[in-house]
A = this chain, B = another copy of it.
Amino acid sequence: MMTAMFDRIALIGIGLIGSSIARDVKELGLARDVVVSTRSADTLKRAEELALGTAYELSAADAVRDADLVIVSVPVGASEAVARQIAPHLKPGAIVTDVGSTKASVIAQMAPHMPDNVHFIPGHPLAGTEKSGPDAGFTGLFQGRWCIFTPLPGTDAGALATLRAFWGALGSKIDEMDPEHHDKVLAIVSHLPHIIAYNIVGTADDLETVTQSEVIKYSASGFRDFTRLAASDPTMWRDVCLHNKDAILEMLARFSEDLAYLQRAIRWGEGDKLFDLFTRTRAIRRSIIEAGQDVDVPDFGRHSLEKKA
């Protein structure tokens, strides 16, 4: 166990991300006290049953008192409400960070409320699964994953170094970029894939000529790959769509344009155009595996998991 980095950490929100942070902090001994707060009494009770913290508060305002590090892990649309609640009660010198999937919107919602004597440093750990809630978290979720900070101009170097060290202790690799660029990057690598996955699963669910039971029965031929992303938390993803609107609409427009080109090639039997695209995309998969960003086994390794089952 390493020496506690913080006397007191407050976790506002205790879903998949918040509860994974709580588990790592506990296992690594990164804080003496961990105050868990969520506005749902049931979820707070569950967090206590799971022993995720050392204290439990329904009120975010009460939770942040005397905390040296405050981590806000709520759907991005709730950021302003949380900022308003906690702002008057923050300890001078405290670091306030978040884990939201959109950054320009979170900054616009939170920064105006933050007192001058705290360090507000927006962050985004690129980690998670399609599960949600306090039971879905696990130790090691952030191991080897990226955590992107989008610090505001004039951010205190010491506070930033402390926060980097914290996420580094959780096993994350750290990057920094400006919030607008973050939002564009995430729009293509995360938001568009989720929206497309939700959409295709919805399309399949609405067919009249193919029954839902047929879709489920034969889903292993490709469709099931999309259902994982489409099983992600609906509140979180509604908020992402509403709070990264411009970047998402831009990526959607490009995607649709490309799809129209592909559709036309199919209609007119232009095999060469199809073959060219299908060859180009194969190379990207190889690069992702070479970069250690996906497992190098066929079918995501399902075959070996299925054999065991």
Measured CB to CB, the residues of A under 8 A from B are 126-131, 136, 138, 140-141, 143-146, 181, 184-186, 188-207, 209-210, 212, 214-232, 234-235, 237-239, 241-242, 245, 248-249, 251-252, 254-256, 258-260, 262-263, 265-267, 269, 271, 274-275, 277-282, 284-288, 291, 293-295, 297-303, 305-307, 309
Return the contact of A238 from the options B258, B259, B274 (Cβ within 8 A). B274
A254 touches B206 (CB 8 A): yes
Identical chains in the assembly: 2
Residues from chain B with Cβ under 8 Å of A286 in the complex: 231
B230 touches A281 (CB 8 A): yes
- Given contacts A146-B220, A230-B281, list 19 more A-B pairs with CB under 8 A: A131-B298, A138-B303, A145-B220, A146-B218, A189-B222, A191-B222, A193-B200, A195-B262, A198-B281, A202-B277, A204-B284, A206-B254, A206-B258, A227-B284, A234-B282, A238-B271, A245-B266, A249-B266, A300-B302
**How far is the CB of A171 from the nearest CB of chain B, in Å?**
11
**How far is the CB of A284 from the nearest CB of chain B, in Å?**
6
